[in-house]
Structure 1
Amino acid sequence: MKLKDIARATGVSTATVSRVLSGKDNVSEKMRQKVLQAVEKLNYRPNRAAQSLRSKRSSFIGLIVADIQSPYFASLCRAVEDVALQNNFSVILCNTDENTDKERMYLDMMYAQNAAGIILAPTLSLSEQFTDEHSMETPMVVIDRQVRGSTVDMVLIDNVLAARELTVHVARQGYQRVAGLFGKDSTTGRQRRAGFEQGLHEAGSAVIPELIVDLPAKEEDAHKVMTRLLALAEPPDAVITSSGLLAAGAFRAIRDRELPVPEAIAFATFDESLWTAMTRPSITVVEQPTYAIGQTACEMLFKRIEDPTRPTRQVVLSSKLVVRQSCGALRAATE
């Protein structure tokens, strides 16, 4: 029997169960009685030895991200580790794969092991249902994805603005059928889709529903979707993707068809990586301050650990549009 079993039986979080069992007074009497009744009914027996070992806060922090294979998260993770080591802390890295069950499991693990703090890139589900209770038990900083209805420290970029500027740049090169591939399991993907559609309107281009796809942020999924779009009777003449993994899959599909970029199809994406700069043609990207995001988030977390009562902050860092060869003007427009 574990804390999560009590939490499931009572419909509350593991953090609330932990507060009741540790005798903390920031729980209502009604909720306290509900939890204690479940403890008795389920015959829960806490591990006293483990509780003793955890009586002091651990010297590690948790970093919970969507997918470390993403160039975005890889750079961010490096920054978090650098700052943590400077403060004599270690980092436990967890990948959710945008899976809410995995996310819940890792959060429960961090709470149970009394992590000093958590840096979290929440799934779409948690972003929309986030409450102060999630960060009450353990200091937390949310990165990359904005959460609703909570006062928690966050480090973000303006995804709508960045996507709008990228789309306006592409559309104004003369492309008429601009496709968009967006991660469907995060607020980031939704915000970038919104900016994409705003950018098309601003540039006076058509929003073509059949060319806009929400999909899992995986390379193989992007390859399949892009292959399908290229097989349309009227295929796109440009494509924008919302992440590095989607970019890799989509660009591979274009290479499979041996289509010249940008003459047959223009290409642009979020997330700078080694291949976007080194491939020919080089790829137009929205370069995010990934290291700065991780560094800022970790520094904010340690300040929160030192002073849990300090006012919460939302830091919005600037991205950069890097214009390269993959979105050059259409050949017809230059002749």
Structure 2
Amino acid sequence: MTTINDVAHAAGVSPATVSRVLNGGRVTAERAERVRRAAAELGFAPNRVARSLRMRRSSLVGLIIPDIGNPFFTALARGVEDAAQRTSFSVVLCNTDGNLDKERRYLDIAIAERMAGVIVAAASRSRTDVSALQSRGIPVVAVDRRPRGASVDAVLVDDEEGGAAATAHLLARGYRRVACITGPQGTSTAEERLAGYRRALQEFLDDGPGAPAGEADLLRDYIRHADFKVEGGHAAMADLLALPRRPDAVFAANNLMAVGVLQAVREAGLEPPEIGVLSFGEVPWAALVQPGLTTVQVPSYDLGRTAAGLLLDRIAGTEQPLRTVVLRSSLQIGRTTAGPRSGMARRMSGKQQTPAEDPR
């Protein structure tokens, strides 16, 4: 039977180096490749059950996310899985639907199964509690959302800056009644994207030349909280369109709600960019939307890959201060935010319309 010592001899490294490679520890790429090649040539397969009993942990890592149906989390999960499969670890996917009870059950399962580590996108900023895992020595990495008060490594996106950039873009394109449909209260991503919206709008109202009187009411009247799902975005947009002075643009704080927004806009007989629509997060079929959808693009795959890297380092016993990695988003400009004048011109090119028919 091939042993770890045989692999070490064939690769020209120590048995400890072989162990680090098999357990996802840090070694040079060249040494890791030599170890993997030697293991493959010798047909070496580590006894995972025995190793689990010796180390009192399994070869599983948990990934706890709120919505696997959201393409953002699908890409994030792929990033985690691609990083983990290069080691001896397998990923267990847990979908909470943003429900704290389901999240707690999955955290309990991680403990019961002696998982090697857990990556979690918290269901609640203030109520998600990972302390039970930490007290048992199970490493935890927060991804996309960090539970308040939790001392864990984290991989995040600068959500506030992304929300501010989105709102500033709409204002720069000539929209003035800019609404924001954000996620559930108490969710860090929803709160931070809303904070960015508020900041950009307030800066425009304070500094922008000729801001119309009374526009500060936008900070109250044109904000809606929804559920980060298509149905929630649709309901919130329908409600906004029913206002006496309906918005002329909307910043949807996630990709699925943007789909619902587009549905509601078109059901009302309108088309972007007459009403500007901007999505935080990519929609996989955005290229098929006409006119092209403007999005805040988020590096979701890299979020997952980076989070897995931090977790594997902790599992391997890396001792260093807690790390927070913040990835940047970018604005991908499409025609759905071309400006209200552009939208009206587009509408009038399709039919004869007098100024009195302006639906705004």
Compute the RMSD of aligned alpha carbons.
2.1
For residues 330 and 178 of structure 1, the distance between their equivalents in structure 2, rounded to whole angstroms, comes to 11
Query: What are the ranges of 5 or more consecutive residues in structure 1 without an aligned counterpart?
Result: 1-51
Please state whether the residue corresponding to 2:244 is helix, strand or coil.
coil
Give the TM-score taking structure 2 as reference length: 0.74
For residues 277 and 242 of structure 1, the distance between their equivalents in structure 2, rounded to whole angstroms, comes to 19
Q: Return 112-121 or 229-238, whichever deviates more.
A: 229-238
For residues 341 and 143 of structure 2, the distance between their equivalents in structure 1, rounded to whole angstroms, comes to 41
Alignment check: 8 A CA contact 2:100 2:128 kept? no
Alignment check: 8 A CA contact 2:273 2:343 kept? no
For residues 63 and 335 of structure 2, the distance between their equivalents in structure 1, rounded to whole angstroms, comes to 36
* Counterpart AA for 2:134: S
Cα offset, 1:128, TM superposition = 5.3
Please state whether the residue corresponding to 2:285 is helix, strand or coil.
helix
Please state whether the residue corresponding to 1:199 is helix, strand or coil.
helix
Query: What are the ranges of 5 or more consecutive residues in structure 2 without an aligned counterpart?
Result: 1-51, 206-210, 346-360
Cα offset, 1:331, TM superposition = 1.3
Please state whether the residue corresponding to 2:85 is helix, strand or coil.
helix
Alignment check: 8 A CA contact 1:54 1:114 kept? no
Cα offset, 1:227, TM superposition = 1.2
Cα offset, 1:149, TM superposition = 2.4
Cα deviation, 1:9-41, whole Å, max 9, x if unaligned, reads xxxxxxxxxxxxxxxxxxxxxxxxxxxxxxxxx
1:146 aligned onto 2:146 = yes
Cα offset, 1:77, TM superposition = 0.5
1:331 aligned onto 2:341 = yes
1:85 aligned onto 2:85 = yes
Cα offset, 1:251, TM superposition = 1.2
1:113 aligned onto 2:123 = no
Alignment check: 8 A CA contact 1:61 1:92 kept? yes
The correspondence of residues 1-335 of structure 1 with structure 2, limited to 5 A, is 56-125=56-125, 127=126, 130=129, 132-137=131-136, 138-184=138-184, 185-204=186-205, 206-207=215-216, 208=218, 209-263=220-274, 265-307=275-317, 309-331=319-341
For residues 334 and 252 of structure 1, the distance between their equivalents in structure 2, rounded to whole angstroms, comes to 19
For residues 110 and 287 of structure 1, the distance between their equivalents in structure 2, rounded to whole angstroms, comes to 32
CA pair 55-306 structure 1, distance change in 2 beyond 3 A: closer
* Counterpart AA for 2:81: E
For residues 55 and 282 of structure 2, the distance between their equivalents in structure 1, rounded to whole angstroms, comes to 43
Alignment check: 8 A CA contact 1:139 1:308 kept? no
Larger Rg: 2
Alignment check: 8 A CA contact 2:111 2:133 kept? no
CA pair 332-316 structure 1, distance change in 2 beyond 3 A: closer
CA pair 54-71 structure 1, distance change in 2 beyond 3 A: farther
Cα offset, 1:278, TM superposition = 2.1
Q: Return 244-253 or 113-122, whichever deviates more.
A: 244-253
Alignment check: 8 A CA contact 1:172 1:203 kept? no
Cα offset, 1:142, TM superposition = 0.2
For residues 56 and 276 of structure 2, the distance between their equivalents in structure 1, rounded to whole angstroms, comes to 55
Give the structure 1 partner of residue 41 of structure 2: none
Cα offset, 1:273, TM superposition = 2.2
* Counterpart AA for 1:267: V
Give the TM-score taking structure 1 as reference length: 0.79
Alignment check: 8 A CA contact 1:218 1:246 kept? yes
* Counterpart AA for 2:191: R
